[in-house]
Amino acid sequence: MSDFLRTMAASSRTRVREARSRVSDGQMMRRAGLRPAPTPLRLDARFDVIAEIKPASPLAGRLAGTGPGAATALVTRARRYGAAGACAVSVLTEPSVFGGSLLLLEGLSIATTVPLLRKDFLVDPYQIAEARDRGASGVLLIARLLEGGRLEEMLDAAASLGLFALVEAFDEEDLARAVLAAEGASDPVLVGINARDLVSLEVDRGRFARLAPRVPASVPLVAESGLSTATDAAAIAALGFRLALVGEALMKDDDPTERLAAMIAAGREAVHPREARG
């Protein structure tokens, strides 16, 4: 595990301990169970984009404002994502490096109708109940953080609360575990290939072509990191990816509508049946 991922996991565990000191597991589960039914994730048969609300990143720094009106601007951005055709909006809730929060997730859930994905370094089923309590429809799970049977435990927790899951992989070993978990899950699970190197944090887009053939056509496959143009979307769709998760490129656009719509359209035009890979 990289130092970056190890640091993020430690921070996440600290947040869980602090949250439990305020709200017990039982109380959190009851709260989550009282929430309205999550907005379902509906995928196009060809290609979709999950658009991201990312206030900051380790390499790009601050991507969203912090002054008066910042929260309203993020709501407007999320609504534009939905209007442009995003199937879901990924919301960073990690606070120390990515500038996110559960309050941001909750605010967007109140103000928008598109399904929301809690994106964080989740290590405990408690955090899945938190996501449900704050209005998420899904959660990101990083396979490398969830060793032994913890990944399956997290998937079971998500399914029990009616949330979809995106299981993220960085290499062949991660991907094998992600696919095995997805195929064994009671509810559909997305599998993501993240092209970002966990040591340098640079993007290796060749990872998409190397790893995509290892995923069965029955598993919806998501390309993550380093995607910014319609050409990028067409390229991954041709490799058999069903979705792209796009963050920084959209966050840097004052109005991301045109870029997002173009990426969705290009992906759908270029889609290649993964069954043809044999």
First-residue to last-residue Cα distance in the chain: 32
- Could you give the number of structural domains in the chain? 1
Is the model's pTM score more than 0.85?
yes
Q: What is the pLDDT of residues 33-63, one digit of tens each?
A: 999 999 999 999 999 999 999 999 888 888 8
Phi, psi angle pair for 29, to nearest 5°? -65, -40
Buried b / exposed e across 58-84, counting CB within 10 Å, b at 16+? Answer: eeeeebbeeeeeebeebbebbbbbbeb
Phi, psi angle pair for 28, to nearest 5°? -65, -40
- The CATH number assigned to the domain holding 55 equals 3.20.20.70
Q: Is the residue at 83 inside a domain?
A: yes
Say what the pLDDT of residue 174 is: 95
Q: Is the residue at 25 inside a domain?
A: no
Q: What is the pLDDT of residues 118-177, one digit of tens each?
A: 999 999 999 999 999 999 999 999 999 999 899 999 999 999 999 999 999 999 999 999
Q: Which domain holds residue 216?
A: 3-13+41-277
User: Is 117's pLDDT higher than 60?
Assistant: yes
Strand pairing category for 56-57 and 61-62: antiparallel
Q: Which residue has the tokens 């290649």?
A: 272
State the CB neighbour count (10 A cutoff) for residue 207: 22
Higher pLDDT, 151 or 65: 151
